[in-house]
Structure formats: C-alpha cells, structure tokens
Structure 1
C-alpha cells in the first residue's frame, strides 16, 4: 500500500521521465552550435529533471524498511529546485536575446546565474542540520535566510529583464524569440509561488505545515502543489517552446544585424 508521499514520488517519476527524451530531441533538432544555442535552457532542464527523478527513485527505494534512511535524502532532494528553475528562466531570456539586434548581452545574465549558484550553496550548507538540535542551528538558519533573499533579488532582476526582452522582440520577425520571452514571463507567477513556499518554510519554524520534512498530509500536499507542480509548469513550458521553435536560422551576409529564423 502506497503512502501519500510514495504516491507523489510516483507522480514525479511519471511527469519528469518524459522530459529526458524531450531534451535529447531538442539537442538533435537544434544542435549546440552558436550563436543560437539552446544550451542555457537544456542544462537547467537536465539538472531539475535529474534532481526530481533521483529524489523520486530514492523515495520509492526507501519503501524497503532496510533502506528507510534514504527517505530523508529523497525529501531533501525534493526541496532543491529554486536555482535550476531560476536558471531556466534566465536561460530562456538568454536565448530570446541572442539573435535580436541590440538585444541584451550575455554578460547581463551571467551575474544572475552566479547569484543563484551562491544562494544555492548558502541554503544547502545552512540546511544540512537545520531541523536538528545542533548548536549551529541559529547560524544555519540565518545563512539559509540570506540565501533566500539572494534568490528574491535575482528573481526580481530576472522579471525586469524579461519585460525588457519582450519589448525588444515585439517585431513580427522575432516569433521564436517572442515566444521564448513570453514563456519566461508566464512562468513568473508559478516561480513566485515556489519562492513564497521557500520563504515561508524558513520563517515559520520547524512545526509549520510548510516544513518540507513534515509528515503531515496537509504539509505534503502543500509541498506538492507549491513546489513540484509550480516547477513542472515552468519546466514543461520551456520544453514546449524549445520543441516547437523553428530549427533553421538564417543570417544575411554583409549585415551586422542577426536575424531570427522567422524572417
């Protein structure tokens, strides 16, 4: 008989396993050649899908009483996702700006990715003993909260850059890039819910229903809808945009402008 958490692990496997062949197909149809590479999107997709599949596999393995200790690892893997999803939104904006004449340069987005990595390190290191009675619990909690604030800052900057990008690709000739920018913007509400859950889990205490390690059914459902579902909407949207984008990109010789594949 499956427990609620085990059933959710099965759902995660069912929704994320198809993303892997989709990524392979994206690589095959688009390739990895510059300047119109989809790698800024593919890499976060791989990371997030790998985390979710690994976590779900470990969680199902923990159903064996002899391997029940794996459940904590599986649950912790389930809580990691802010950085890959944020980098996915940034990757969408990188791809949307690449062929656009006077589009936002790559160096605008690199600091945001570095902030996301730094925030991940801070939250992961601080969360290693967060819900234990260790003497460093207060210090770890402060470190995790600082990491969350970095995520909020990077996410806020990403939203501003997404709006700016959409204004730059309004022209009809940039259909693929416009769709990519719209995808990033439409993912913002879902990412906001995901970020709100992380903030709430850090500021509400160990006994809160928002505690990702809670065994309470309400807490498990909240984690599923506010984390897994929110992340999957952004993941599926980005995958769909990459799969449906036109493959051929043309450039006009003798011109400095880069033209999109829709011209």
Structure 2
C-alpha cells in the first residue's frame, strides 16, 4: 500500500517526526562508556510513554524476524547494522552504536536512525563510515521532490555510497511510512535514474542508507533479529523520515531544538 497523507495528517506527521528526532538526540546524549543497551531501551520506553505515543517496534513481527521484537529501540553495535535487539551489554570506549527508533503518535508514524562512536576513541574507518551514510542521506533528500522518480532518489544515495568505496546491499532499504511504520514503496539504496514510482505530494518516505565496510552480505544473530556484517566489519546507518510536498521535500525527524 502506498499512502498519501492529507494536509492535516502531514501536520500530525511533523509532530511525530520532531518527537522521534528529540528522543534520538536525548538517547545519544545519555549514552556514555559503560551504558547498558537495556538502559537505552528503558529510556526510550519512558520517553515515548511520557509523550503519550506508542513504539512501532514492541509488537513488530515481520516475516524476516523472530517476532515480536519486544523492545522500543534498535541498538546495533559495531558489526551489527540493522534490527539490533537490545540485550545486556555495556558499551565500551570506541564502540560504534546505531540507534533506530520508530514511533506512532496521533495515528502517524515516523522513523529515524543515527550512528555514532561512544567515548573518545575513534577506531580507523568508523567516522568515515558514519559520514558516508550521512552524505548519502543528504543526497537522497536533495534528489526527492514531487514528480521525481524513485530511482532518482535511490541512484543519488547509491552514488555517494559507492564513491566512498562501500558495497551496497539491496535486501533492506528505505520505505514508505504513514499510519504504519513499513509501507510501499521500497526505497533501495542504489538504483537507476528515471525509473520507478513517481513521487507525489503527501507521500512520506523513510530514507535510510546503511553500509558495511567491506561486504554486502548479512548474517542473522541467534536472537533472530540482529543483522550483522558477514565479515565482522563495522557498519553505519543514517535515516530520516521525509515528506514530499508541493514545493519539494521536508525533513520531519530533525530534533525540535
């Protein structure tokens, strides 16, 4: 299903998006060396509840996971890149952490992810990985707009990632979003320009470039959820929910302050 939001629904999406952006920044600010992943999940649960919103992940049970997910935020560490299931683990100096959160408020969902290095140590290549996904996300956003083909957005993202020297996996990518977290259309992180669905005002997309340093192959943990690089290399992931408007594109998941 491809859902097109009304102007009133888009106003509600702006509120949800700002909430998601604020929660992610709060979680990042609280996370230090020694922070337990389960504490991050607890903080996310409390922040979502305090806002009168609902997590999109607690009851999430897609065909590819061992559901339901049962937690409020994805916490992927180092070689973990997607759907990291929170567990008892205290973060070490230099760990590369990805936080991915999706929230439903007033009937509209928003989804965003950030990657960052914990502590003061900067292991080789980690910052470059993160920055590549951030640049790719910015390129995808810049390419989007009314009348643009979806392939143009995917091509913009993939061009940045491949130019930085990273293989691109197309099993998982961005997606439509609205009254539910995951909708059509699928947004691969590489593609052919001029092809695919033509973007329309009122469409929400979660754009999410992610990469692994030296492979495009994923493996799944025994928990049935956490996806890791097959070689054990480090990974990074950046994501924003954006709205296609009459005039262009609007990023909804920026923090409010």
> More relative contact order in 1 or in 2 (CA 8 Å, sep 6+)?
2
- Same fold per TM (> 0.5)? no
TM-score, with length taken from structure 1: 0.32
Larger Rg: 1
